[in-house]
Amino acid sequence: MAVDELDTRILRLLIEQPRTSVREYARVLGIARGTLQARLDRLEREGVITGTGPVLSPAALGHPVLAFVHIEVTQGHLDEVGDALAAVPEIVEAFSITGGGDLLTRVVARDNGHLEDVIQRLIQLPGVVRTRTEMALRERVPHRLLPLVEAVGRAAGRQRG
């Protein structure tokens, strides 16, 4: 999907001021509310905007420990293990990967003992061969997309110009 300069400005506002009204976004951007709404609808339809909910902190929810668990799966059981992972509330993300393992999960826990309990639960899932865990010490770059949005917008502007 092509993201132009106006789309980039819209996405920047959504990221920086997520609780602002559509009317206020249109005013700030200097465009008609209908134009803004049409752009937002297109960005959602084309999968650029995938959600509008709040971003929650696992640490503030009592789960300050973050680990990345690599899971090796018996051949042919990737889907079943993936489905089983969805039933573990401490797994906040899971991806099929290449390299050292078949799945990479992002796991949160109350403390190290709780993390061990979660890992033991994972090891017992049918189809799981082994796990390898890496503990996060400190977040160095928080999840962000604005720099990417701006780079895509700049590239689109250069292509047109």
Beta bridge partners of 137: none
Mean pLDDT by 10 residues, the chain (161 residues): 87 92 95 96 94 89 98 97 97 95 97 98 97 97 92 81 64
- Tens digits of per-residue pLDDT, 41-86? 999 999 999 988 888 999 999 999 999 999 999 999 999 999 999 9
**Do 37 and 8 touch, CB atoms closer than 8 A?**
no
pLDDT of res. 1? 63
What are the structure tokens assigned to 6, written together? 């106006």
Q: Please give the Cα distance from 150 to 9 (Å, whole number).
A: 8
Q: Which two tokens stand for residue 118?
A: 């979660």
pLDDT at 53: 81
Give the residue from 153, 139, 158 showing the smallest Cα distance to 12. 153
For residue 91, what pLDDT is reported?
98
- On the 0-12 / 13-18 / 19+ scale of CB atoms within 10 A, 73 is buried
**Identity of residue 99:** G
* pLDDT for the residue 148: 93
